[in-house]
Structure 1
Amino acid sequence: MNPIRRRKTIVGGIAASLVAGLLVSGYAADAPKTPAKPSAPKAAAPKPGEAAPPPKVPPLGGAAAEFLTVPPRPAKPPLPPSKLPLEFVKNERVAFVGASLAERMNLTGSFEAMLHARFPKQELVIRNFARPADEVSIRQRSSGYTGLGDPIYAFGADTYICFFGFNESFGGPAGVDKFKADYESFIDTFGAQYPRDDTGSKPRFVIVTPAAFEASGNPDLPSGKTENDNLRLYAEAAAEVAKKRNIAFVDLFVPTRAAFDAEPGLQFTTNSVHLNHAGDLKVAQLLDVALFNSPGQAAPGSPAFEQLRAAVVDKAWTNLQDYRMLNGWYVFGGRRTFDTDTFPREIAKIRNMVAVRDRYVWDIAQGKQVPPQPDDSKTGELITPAPGFGRWPNKEPKQLKYPTPEESIATMQVPPGYEVQLVASEREFPELTKVNQINFDNKGRLWASCMPTYPQWKPGDPRPNDKLVILSDFDEKGKARKHKVFYDKLICPTGFEFWNGGVIVVDEPRLLWLKDTNNDDVADQVVELSDGWGTDDTHHTIGAFEWSPGGLLHMLEGVSMSTAVETPWGPLRKSGAPGCYVLDPRSQKIRHFVTPGYGNPWCYVFNWWGQGIVGDGTTPQQHWDTPLSTAPYSGRKGMNTVFDGEGMRPNVGTEFLYTRQFPDNIQGNFIFACVINMNGLTTFEVRDDGAGYKGNRRKKPGPDGKPAADDLLSAKDNMTFRPTDPQIGPDGALYFGDWCAALIGHMQYSQRDPGRDKAHGRVFRLVYTGKPLLTPVTQFGKPVPELLEQLKEYEPRTRYRARRELRDRPTPEVLAAIKSWVAKLDPADKEFDRLRLEALWVQQGHHAVDPAFLKEVLRAKTPEARAGATRVLADEWERIPNAMELIAPQASDEFARTRVEAIRALSFVRTKASVETILKAAALPRDYWIDYTLQMSLGALDPVWKPEFAAKTIAQDNPKGLELLTELEALSKPSGAATAAIKKFLSDPEMPQKQRDAIHAEIAKAKGNADNGKAVFRRVCSSCHKALNEGVDYGPDMTGVATRLKKPELVESILEPNAKLDPKYATTNVDTKEGDSYTGFIVSETPEVLTLRIGGGVNQPIKKSDIAKKVTLKQSSMPEGLAAGMSAEEFIDLVEFLASQKQGAPKPPAKK
């Protein structure tokens, strides 16, 4: 039996109190309403002048029906017309919609506070539903977002104040007419979809233009001229729509342009487009006067106004936990397995907490005395699910008991001569909990990101307090004597890195920059850099941050995420595509590349020469990043791994072992932190493999004489030890965190499982006792010439930190010092070419690459230096005036890796000359890596070369190149219709069922390659399924699957795993009377005993007399969105492979 038992559940009558009417000072709490599910048709737009029919709302089920069903809404009296000055009725429900201009009002609350100050007696009910990157015709949401109710429908606004036009403006003059048509369509369809009451009474709308673009004077950001020209066009277009529809209109563009132009530089924005606090106040004041034609009563800065504003911000944050709830995949999406009873109660509680805050805000606005905090005592009780500990017997400790740090060290097996030492733990520093990433600053101090809030905030708890902790003053055994909490208001900080004298850190769903300005090691400057990062799964959110040598921040994101962010260059949207975001913090440009077949990438590291290795956390796959990171291509295929990890997974961080503190025989080895299968640091040797790399796990003779794993550290019997983020420290030792948890994962238990640990976290280091520790090399306060000398150090991590510090120093000083330093380098030094490449990387970090110097390094004697310099040329292409001239020799370089880098670089250059240069590389000797990069790069350039190919005007004197284009053209034809169908399906989660069925049939017509499909199956599916005796026996055995399912059904089973779930594989949850909880598939059942197949393929018998509750869900354990991680061609090949499985069908487990 489990050592934890179920906590008492809640007293009855909660549903009635939540839904029927929590009364707070006479105000009824918002009653949740039931929206249409994604598959339900949206309400049709009424014809002009017609009343909108009430939308058809299908009923919810289970706890959602009990807590989130909307009570009837009787007819409301008519609203005042939408004209200026705007008038409000008492208790009018007002909603903000639009993009970040409105969404960022959640951060400061100035405009809403002014509304309450102006209309204290009207007691306005205000919600902000704006989202980054929203447009009138594009409002990307998570899959299943309305599965438990659409928050906008639940609110039922009377008036919508609309803030659209910014993201649309990047469509330029050509998009203006579409914007106007889309805006009118939005007013009609939105009004019909979200009526004020059950009679279909239409809400009113107010149109507000986007603000102007603030010119920064920074050459790395847009100048603002084109941007403001376009914004003016879209502001004028919005005015035309408002006039045509007789809607109140406010022009923010003209007055903000005047304010922004009054002083040079960024006075009102953080990045030219997103308002800072001063800009938000300016816009709030402009709106307040424009909407009501007179100055308001608010006195910004006064104690009364600041109290009101703080209350508004608190309410806005609470509301955000509803309409932008984290972990949506588990709340309303495809992984809603364990918490079908939990989250409906939480959503209802949040909405009631917001209603309490409405009353609190009104009381402040009316000058009444209020308590220090709103009273949430009557907002509803929650339930605690049964403990799930014991569900995974081969992956969890036998008892839910945590060893001391010393006891944990005693379980760690290391090679002779190595020793594990404790750096810090929760025992010495209670704030050090749930360590997921570590890093060393320029003073040699160790920072740790800590996530006690994980997996998400619980309504009624204090605000999230995840934090960055600084450890310092280490003794001779490496133990920290001091710690300092740098910042403690974060939500799940899955990644952080140092930049510009501060720290870039995740604060889901935002990315922050924090800085200490008064040298007390506490952040006192907080800047919201960007917003809209996917949070569908809080451990899939961008994380595992790593700088490239040239200063680009790599941030990894998992599958089934919905990310939509705004930048000064336009919106960036990605949905369901696991991969890497590459952020240039100077220009704020972001690009993305897909990592095919990944579930949740958590590994990134660059080697001696700047070549990146990216890896999955869910599987052991590790890949060379150059071929993967060509320009975006929808047909991207999976790629061969550097090594597959031999099933040692999941993985949280990687490192190359280059340190003089360790023996020679380990130098250059590669490790990843494995948190389950061997609980340690899996160790690999990496070698060249043609143009790319290949690796193998280190081996040694085992007791039986056969090869056995020779890992640097293993603690497979310590199932609370979950190592994270290994990194060579300034003293040469290997440091790593410890998540320290008995429960093994995110989806394997209820998000509210009482066994989820919040209190433990450790940092350890591994030292080699046969050699002394290195004298730490630090960067703080060192002059630039000394920092450049650190680039000569043997340890790449020291060089990493030196480059990072040099990027923070003034550009003129750094460039002058580089010139002098390079001139003194000795050409006879074997490190000469590497050091020149290091200098080039430092220049790149300032976007100040010297083209003449770059040309020299591109033609260096050392081939790896030429490859590294080619990547610099690719990254800085737009800043290098003769880039095309410089790339040509690289595409024909004798070193194959340089050619791969050149092909990749040219994939971003959409010209015929670029294609012709790529094809010259195709005429040279090729291997797997070159062929893959050629196919992906030319795929990205399809629009360039295909018309030329059809006209026979390309590769005229290049037979090999023409042969390659002919082959690629042929490959693109057979499955064209199926490819289009797959893309359409993935882009429209609300597609009607009839259309879905047609798409399944269309895809099934395609003829794929079953041999290629078998390779896709091994890579993507074999971790849960078997076929022909390969894979894991957990989900349905695919052997003989074609005898059970027709080809369209195979397609449907992958695209929609929950659509037609075989009852044998329906997820069943069983709670026993003793408080144990099990989840799995029913494999047998007698009158006395129910047997579940649980994790690890274990059959768990349960006496029926012991069962307190049994629930079988129509829920597959297979994740939604799997197809998004494959190319369309791979998907078709996988279906072809499965369709070929007609022999040896396994007999299903018969129920007795």
Structure 2
Amino acid sequence: MPTIKKLLRGRFPMLTVFTGAVLAFSAYRFYYPDDAASGLEAAPGLEVKVFAAEPLLLNPTNIDIDEKGRVWVCEAINYRPVQNPANPKRPEGDRILILEDNDGDGRADKQKVFYQGNDVNAALGICVLGNKAIVSVSPNVFIFTDTDGDDKADKKELLFTGIDGEQHDHAVHAFSFGPDGKLYFNFGNEGKNIKDKNGEPLKDRLGNVIADNGKPYRQGMVFRCNMDGSDIEVLGNNFRNNYEVAVDSYGTLWQSDNDDDGNRGVRINYVMQYGNYGYQDEMTGAGWRAPRANMETEIPLRHWHLNDPGVVPNLLQTGAGSPTGILLYEGDLLPEVFRNQVIHSDAGPNVVRAYPVKPDGAGYKAELVNILTTKDDKWFRPSDVGIAPDGSLIVADWYDPGVGGHRMQDVNKGRLFRVAPPGTPYKVPAPDLKSAEGALHALNSPNLATRYLGWTKLNSLGKKAEKVLARQFQTDANPRFRARACWLLSKLEAKKAKKYIGLAVADANADIRITGLRAAMELKMDVNPLLNKLASDPSPQVRREVAVQLRFNTTAEAPAIWTRLANQYDGNDRWYLEALGIGAGLQWDKCFNTWYQQTDRNMAKKATRDITWRARTPAAMALLPGLISDPLVPAAELPRYFRAFDFYPESPGKQLLLTGLLNGGGARNTQINMLALAQISPESAGQPQVQAALQQVLEANKGKIEFIEMVNRFKIRNQDAGLLNMALTQPSSPIGMEAAKSLLAGNPDLLEKNINGSDESATAIFTALGTFGDLKTLKWMETVSTNPARNMRVRQSAIKTMGMSRTGEDRILAMVKKKNMEPGLQQASASVLFRASRPAIREEAAQYITNPSKEGKPLAPIDKLAVLSGNAVNGKAVFAASCLVCHKVNTAGSLFGPELSEIGNKLPKIALYDAILNPSAGISFGYEGYVVKLKNGTTVEGIIASETNDKLDVRFPGGAVISYPKADVVSKSLSGSSPMPSNLQQGMTQQELVDLVEYLTTLKKVGN
């Protein structure tokens, strides 16, 4: 033990006490690798043991497990070097490792380096298929081949290239082998594009270039392709960071997707083929915060545009997290609850979960069941999970205090855990591929690498494998084994393939019927006889699949088949409705018109209204006013029909329909007028019916944000008194800020008059306008701050609000450099300049003024702070004073930075201190600061809330969002630093900082 202790002290100089299972550091508690499993808790009927740990592996980003039970690991020492400059680097590049348990004791005892190089730095995916390994590392996807069996890569080839997001977690992820013999993979919303190995842009089956450009795809995508990368298809789009895709034996796809951090919107998706998943506005690309009709009340739902026609629903929303690897467990070693279910690692809340599903109409519903959680080790960061050939789970742990934002604080650790029933030995017999029977046994393995070998062998045998495959397909009690055999039987010569597909679509099991139809579609058979047969299937899930598979069917029969499906929609099943939308998506005119001619057209039926709402054809748009005007249609539904208008291009006919909806008084008519005016062109403002409706809506919405929206939209100037009142009485709220901004654009003289009036009015207006950085506003503030006739408190307020913008910081620094500033203004200037996000500002300011400190002494180092106990009650007060302007906790605060309602689940104290004291070291994706330069000379800094072809929405501290026409924007660029002040702690004592962190650790999700 003294030798181990000496070694550990050499690697971890902060070590103070060694107690066996736990190492107590001055900064944190750390489980010694041999006892790391004692910090974790497995589900009932399972135990967790260490399979491998440092120094055998470090920082595992992704794993795969081969047919021998060996674990292949992507390491990430060279992760985001710009963001992590203090971390040691590996000049020779990162490694792809093979870890092997030679003696069967369940612990890896041998390490091999399959490949090492800077071209695989921080690879995010590995898929092992025989003697090949597919490695995903943007901008490339490589195929490494071991040609001589020595477990070393002898050949490196490109499969794909041109994928954006190099060294970005939202880039290309791991590949997976499907039951149809194809590859499945995905990339997050930094992937952007994909090109073939020669650098040529790839196109979908309709000739669209596959790119995040809205034509038609947006953001993250999931793909299917042949083994050589040909015939690539986009199977779903508009995800944020869909981190891996899992495919079950029926060919059904499952994914997780991460939200904008802090919004408690992490989701699990059943990927209905060709669907849109709603991270951005499908038509404009606007972000989820952008105002729209029928906007969801809850932010986790709003985040995915779930009320929009054309968005596939989520299977499950899991709250806050940092989701990573995912798989479909089709083994029988784990307890029953986990069999045939999605299993998923979520690094943020330190958990590996399953999501047992049940059919729910045409889709599914699910619950959360934990498999592996932490007891007290908050460094447990499960980055991936894999299935060994024996059915046990291997969990990769990128052991680190933080997660997300491209930040990594430790490069010396990394673990693999094995999860299995207690006492289960790690025995992995070699697959027998010499016979069809042996290959069939391999095909039925829970391990994909083994399954691939069995599939490949059986496929190569062709008709020689028919007998064993037919037996399994027709008699096996396990429907997933039957489905695997069905896929291979469909690869036989055409006559036999048709025979087995016919048997599949007539099967008693709905999932086998679905498998048969999917196999027929991939073979490009004449599927109309099958679609006609299955269009009346008793299973809504089978009918869903028929609808989806109509998407590219341009035959004359297709609209009639679609109509039969539509007539079976019950008005309650959103999965079914979206399947209808996917199926009709490329020929809405034909499908809708055929359906409308054959239905009873009874708009009292919700099913009829829903299909009209979901459609994208002029015939359906023409019906929307009738729905809106019908008094029998519930008022709660009206916003959704107005939202449907947004999915049609602008035209005189559309505007005519909208203006025709304007009507008289009453609550319902006022609601209709409000919704219609939000979409009617401002050029129509002179029409009498528009004027009358405007007056009615303004009167009904005085003091509300809707009032300001109408004033701005129609450039109304006779309501300035109301705007001024909002700005003066609510200067810190989004309403007051928007009111002041409206006056700044339309009646700046009124603002200036009030600034030159009372001190209270000036302070309120400065507060309302402070974040915007407008040159005219800054001039007013500078004039007041330098006017000795004004009260010093007002002058200091002017300085502090000037400092809320980048341009304002520059002006304050220029004032300071004149060296004639009064002491009271120097103090206010220092409080601004020494909290600036730009180091150059802080450094230059130090040459002219003194850096203020509440205690006048430096803080203790982070490792010392992290062991101090604070008072959470006092910390809550500190948070309210210093943090609520930018962060939200439950219902309090504003949405500028990430919501922190569950931050205590995600980060231990050491990481919380690091986030506060070093905010630019790890910036959550989507919360980067941008510098926006405008044609009028103004430079503003904020977070990009939304961007479309026409406008740029910038979010400022306090939560206010300003829309800038793209025509007025000269440039936008990353600021390179966090919008969070770098010296936030200077406004508090060390104990207040400790109390603040103590409070943050209490912010946790209750339950799973």
- Normalising by the smaller structure, the TM-score range is 0.5 to 0.7
| Counterparts of 2:737 and 2:584, CA distance in 1 | 33
Of 504, 507, 520, 1:873 maps to 520
Alignment of 1:652-671 (within 5 A): 652-668=324-340, 670-671=342-343
TM-score after normalising by structure 1 = 0.48
Q: 1:738 to 1:461 in 2, by over 3 A?
A: closer
1:842 aligns to 2:494 (yes or no): no
The residue number in structure 1 matching 2:359 is 688
1:765 aligns to 2:418 (yes or no): yes
Decide whether the 8 Å contact of 1:510 with 1:528 is kept in 2: yes
| Residue 527 of structure 1, CA deviation | 0.8
The residue number in structure 2 matching 1:505 is 135
The residue number in structure 1 matching 2:542 is 898
SS of equivalent to 1:760: coil
Q: Which consecutive residues of structure 2, in runs of 5 or more, have no partner in the other structure?
A: 1-23, 204-208, 260-264, 284-308, 602-606, 623-641, 652-677, 685-692, 694-705, 707-731, 746-770, 775-800, 807-834, 840-852, 866-875, 888-896, 922-927, 932-939, 950-958, 964-983, 989-1008
Q: CA deviation digits over 1:1083-1137, x for unaligned, max 9?
A: 999999999968737999x99xx99999996669987586789xxxxxxxxx9x9
Q: CA deviation digits over 1:747-785, x for unaligned, max 9?
A: 5x5xxxxx633332211111211x644753543754343
SS of equivalent to 2:109: strand
1:408 aligns to 2:67 (yes or no): no
Aligned partner of 1:599: which letter? R
Of 354, 371, 378, 1:719 maps to 378
Q: 1:1046 to 1:548 in 2, by over 3 A?
A: farther
Q: 1:544 to 1:637 in 2, by over 3 A?
A: farther
Q: CA deviation digits over 1:674-707, x for unaligned, max 9?
A: 2122x12234432221221111224xxxxxxxxx
1:574 aligns to 2:221 (yes or no): no
Alignment of 1:373-772 (within 5 A): 399=27, 402-427=30-55, 429=56, 432-456=57-81, 465-489=93-117, 490-499=120-129, 501-535=131-165, 538-566=168-196, 570=203, 571-575=209-213, 577-586=219-228, 588-596=230-238, 598-607=239-248, 609-618=250-259, 619-626=265-272, 629=275, 634=282, 637-645=310-318, 647-668=319-340, 670-677=342-349, 679-698=350-369, 711-715=370-374, 717-747=376-406, 749=407, 756-769=409-422, 772=424
Of 917, 930, 945, 2:561 maps to 917
Q: 1:446 to 1:787 in 2, by over 3 A?
A: same
Q: 1:665 to 1:580 in 2, by over 3 A?
A: closer
Aligned partner of 2:500: which letter? F
Q: CA deviation digits over 1:176-220, x for unaligned, max 9?
A: xxxxxxxxxxxxxxxxxxxxxxxxxxxxxxxxxxxxxxxxxxxxx
SS of equivalent to 1:543: coil
1:786 aligns to 2:418 (yes or no): no
Q: 1:787 to 1:624 in 2, by over 3 A?
A: same
| Counterparts of 2:650 and 2:25, CA distance in 1 | 43
Aligned partner of 2:517: which letter? T
Q: CA deviation digits over 1:627-668, x for unaligned, max 9?
A: 5648999557443322212x2511112344554433345544
| Residue 715 of structure 1, CA deviation | 0.9
SS of equivalent to 1:850: helix
| Residue 874 of structure 1, CA deviation | 3.0
Decide whether the 8 Å contact of 2:185 with 2:244 is kept in 1: no
The residue number in structure 1 matching 2:969 is none
Q: CA deviation digits over 1:262-288, x for unaligned, max 9?
A: xxxxxxxxxxxxxxxxxxxxxxxxxxx
Q: CA deviation digits over 1:969-1021, x for unaligned, max 9?
A: 366576799658899xxxxxxxxxxxxxxxx99999999xxxxxx9xxxxxxx
| Counterparts of 1:954 and 1:1086, CA distance in 2 | 57
Decide whether the 8 Å contact of 1:680 with 1:713 is kept in 2: yes
| Counterparts of 1:893 and 1:1120, CA distance in 2 | 48
| Residue 555 of structure 1, CA deviation | 1.9
TM-score after normalising by structure 2 = 0.55
Alignment of 1:785-864 (within 5 A): 785-791=437-443, 793=444, 797-798=446-447, 800-809=448-457, 811-813=459-461, 815-825=462-472, 827=474, 829-831=476-478, 834-843=480-489, 850-864=497-511
Decide which moves more: 585-594 or 450-459: 450-459
| Residue 869 of structure 1, CA deviation | 2.0
| Counterparts of 2:920 and 2:122, CA distance in 1 | 33
SS of equivalent to 1:573: coil
SS of equivalent to 2:211: strand
SS of equivalent to 1:735: strand
Q: 1:624 to 1:520 in 2, by over 3 A?
A: same
SS of equivalent to 1:839: helix
| Residue 495 of structure 1, CA deviation | 1.4
Q: CA deviation digits over 1:1040-1061, x for unaligned, max 9?
A: 9977887999xxxxxxxx9989
Decide whether the 8 Å contact of 1:559 with 1:1121 is kept in 2: no
Decide whether the 8 Å contact of 2:354 with 2:371 is kept in 1: yes
Q: 1:714 to 1:871 in 2, by over 3 A?
A: same
Q: CA deviation digits over 1:583-639, x for unaligned, max 9?
A: 32246122224454x431114323464422211144430111125648999557443
Aligned partner of 1:641: which letter? N
Q: 1:494 to 1:665 in 2, by over 3 A?
A: closer
Aligned partner of 2:211: which letter? R
Share of identical aligned residues, percent? Answer: 18
The residue number in structure 2 matching 1:199 is none
| Residue 884 of structure 1, CA deviation | 2.5
How many equivalent pairs are there? 644
| Residue 463 of structure 1, CA deviation | 5.2
SS of equivalent to 1:622: strand
Decide whether the 8 Å contact of 1:491 with 1:508 is kept in 2: no
Decide whether the 8 Å contact of 1:1084 with 1:1092 is kept in 2: no
Aligned partner of 1:439: which letter? D
SS of equivalent to 1:720: coil
The residue number in structure 1 matching 2:428 is 776
| Counterparts of 1:829 and 1:787, CA distance in 2 | 16
Q: CA deviation digits over 1:949-974, x for unaligned, max 9?
A: 6xx67765455799876552366576
Alignment of 1:1081-1096 (within 5 A): 1096=900
SS of equivalent to 1:765: strand
| Counterparts of 2:431 and 2:385, CA distance in 1 | 21
| Counterparts of 2:457 and 2:354, CA distance in 1 | 37
Q: 1:1064 to 1:419 in 2, by over 3 A?
A: farther
Decide which moves more: 900-909 or 616-625: 616-625
The residue number in structure 1 matching 2:551 is 907
The residue number in structure 1 matching 2:292 is none
| Residue 529 of structure 1, CA deviation | 1.7
